[in-house]
Amino acid sequence: MGRARPSEAWTGHPRELEGCCGQGHPPINLALLILAVVTCLFEAGIFWMILQDYRKVREMPELSPKRLTVLTLFSLGPLLALLLIWLFATNIHSKSEPPPMEHAATVQSVSDVPTSLRLQFNAANTDAIGIDLKNIWRWYTFRNIAQGTDENKEPFRKTLNTIIFITFDKPVRFKQIIVDSFGASLPTYEVKDSSSRHALVVFDGELIGTNVEIKAIY
């Protein structure tokens, strides 16, 4: 039942897409590598003790240095291969990460840039016209309309309230959101919600033949 009029076509905004991706989990990968190394060393120690007990039971001679070296390399080979794979994967991951976006700092910063929206409301049941925009990314006007038949079965149509929704282009640090009609009479209204990125103002009834400015005060 309501109507909406955007202040501009939907084109998206680069700032809205920033900060959505993480940087991976290198601490978790390193912890897994350490756990794997410790587990392999523990299993190698158990294998060595079993081998020594077996040699003593069988009264086998001591291993020669050459065979001991081969056995040591055979035991540590999987650990060295695991380490090389981890280093290679870490290098690939660091190269594949996208560079930080230019506006990353701007997204988080809050400024005192002048911020206001002036709308012109004409005849009933017509859309508002944006005549002055400062630091406004997008805006909408909605009308909640009730229609039906009364007790005399006569059709009726009544605007219950008018809603103005604004999103700011840059985050702002304000003390208050005010509404100015330049001396004209306005229906009862209330700033229902506001933040550094948006404002929501609700008017009782319909705005007709007047200019309304919604402004951030610093």
Same domain for 199 and 125: yes
Asked, for residue 120, whether it belongs to a domain, the answer is yes
Please report the pLDDT score of residue 88 as a whole number.
Answer: 72
Contact present, 142 and 156 (Cβ < 8 Å): no
Q: Average pLDDT of 75-101?
A: 66
Same domain for 204 and 128: yes
Residue 96 confidence (pLDDT) above 70: no
- Number of separate domains in the chain: 2
Identity (one letter) of the amino acid at 104? A
Asked, for residue 102, whether it belongs to a domain, the answer is no
Same domain for 181 and 136: yes
pLDDT range class, residue 118, cuts 50, 70, 90: very high
Asked, for residue 18, whether it belongs to a domain, the answer is no
Contact present, 196 and 161 (Cβ < 8 Å): no
Helical (H) or strand (E) element with 89: helix 65-96
97 by DSSP, 3-state: which?
A: coil
Asked, for residue 15, whether it belongs to a domain, the answer is no
Backbone angles phi, psi at 31, to 5 degrees: -65, -40
Average pLDDT of the chain, as a whole number: 76
Helices and strands (H and E) in the chain: how many: 3, 8
Residue 82 confidence (pLDDT) above 90: no
Residue 119 confidence (pLDDT) above 90: yes
Same domain for 144 and 49: no
Residue 97 confidence (pLDDT) above 70: no
Asked, for residue 3, whether it belongs to a domain, the answer is no
Same domain for 205 and 141: yes
Report d(CA 184, CA 142) in Å as an integer: 21
Residue 11 confidence (pLDDT) above 60: no
Residue 26 confidence (pLDDT) above 60: no
Please report the pLDDT score of residue 59 as a whole number.
Answer: 66
Instruction: Single out the residue in 96, 126, 154 at which a domain terminates.
Output: 96
pLDDT digits (tens, 9 = 90+) for 35-66: 777 777 776 677 667 766 766 776 666 666 66
Expressed as residue numbers, the domain containing 88 is 26-96
Report d(CA 130, CA 136) in Å as an integer: 11
Same domain for 130 and 52: no
Same domain for 176 and 124: yes
Same domain for 136 and 182: yes
Instruction: Single out the residue in 96, 131, 147 at which a domain terminates.
Output: 96
| CA distance readout (Å), 60 to 18, 63, 64, 71, 117 | 68, 9, 12, 16, 93
Same domain for 117 and 35: no
pLDDT digits (tens, 9 = 90+) for 144-201: 999 899 888 889 888 899 999 999 999 999 999 999 999 999 999 999 999 999 999 9
Same domain for 122 and 213: yes
Euclidean distance between the first and final Cα of the chain, in Å?
A: 36
Asked, for residue 213, whether it belongs to a domain, the answer is yes
Same domain for 75 and 50: yes
Report d(CA 63, CA 41) in Å as an integer: 20
pLDDT range class, residue 95, cuts 50, 70, 90: low
Asked, for residue 151, whether it belongs to a domain, the answer is yes
Report d(CA 130, CA 118) in Å as an integer: 6
Neighbours of 58 (CB within 10 A): 8
Q: Average pLDDT of 190-213?
A: 95
Same domain for 117 and 200: yes
